[in-house]
Amino acid sequence: MGIINMVSNIKEIHPKDILIIKVGTFYYTYNKDAYIISYLFNYKLTQTSGIFSCGFPSSKLNSIMAQLEKNKLNYIILDRRNNYDLDNKFDNKNLNQYDKILKKAKEKINYDIRVKQIVDYLQLNRDNKKVILEMEELIIERRKIQSN
């Protein structure tokens, strides 16, 4: 069974737990869980064939677990090499903040995507100085309003 199928099956049982999969010397999270890890730790979120993922080296695991516990996030850590055996688990029961932090993560990541699209557009259309000047004027005007 592929890793994505395994993740989907486990997430059906534990939809509000961050599922962390050990693959070699790295740990990976997928889809919604990847959003949260990317948001909390500023790790790169990648997308391949419609699947979002976020990885980190095993040397960071203890600090990741501590931060997840601090943020009251449930997590499950599985080892792919050992047939997805349970390595570690943390359960906040009713105090789990998964939905709350996922919402913040989605807002930030969607915002970052929009900003990147604007930057990409401006870099591809370097001859469009008028748009840049208009954006600069808007920024300057907003700064004046906020400072008053």
Domain residues of the chain, as ranges? 1-148
Average per-residue pLDDT for the chain: 91
Q: How confident is the model at residue 1 (pLDDT cuts 50, 70, 90)?
A: low
Q: Where are any strands of DSSP class E within the chain?
A: 18-23, 26-30, 46-48, 51-57, 75-79, 85-90
41 near 62, Cβ under 8 Å?
Answer: no
What fold, for 1-148?
MutS, DNA mismatch repair protein, domain I (3.40.1170)
**pLDDT for residue 85 is more than 90:** no
pTM above 0.75, yes or no: yes
**pLDDT for residue 19 is more than 60:** yes
What percentage of the chain carries pLDDT values higher than 70?
99
**pLDDT for residue 56 is more than 60:** yes
Name residues whose C-beta falls within 8 Å of residue 14's C-beta, 6 or more positions apart in sequence. Answer: 74, 76
Residue-level pLDDT at 79: 93
Q: Number of helices (H) and strands (E), helices first, in the chain?
A: 5, 6
**pLDDT for residue 148 is more than 80:** no
Nearest CA to 72 out of 37, 35, 38, 97 is that of 97
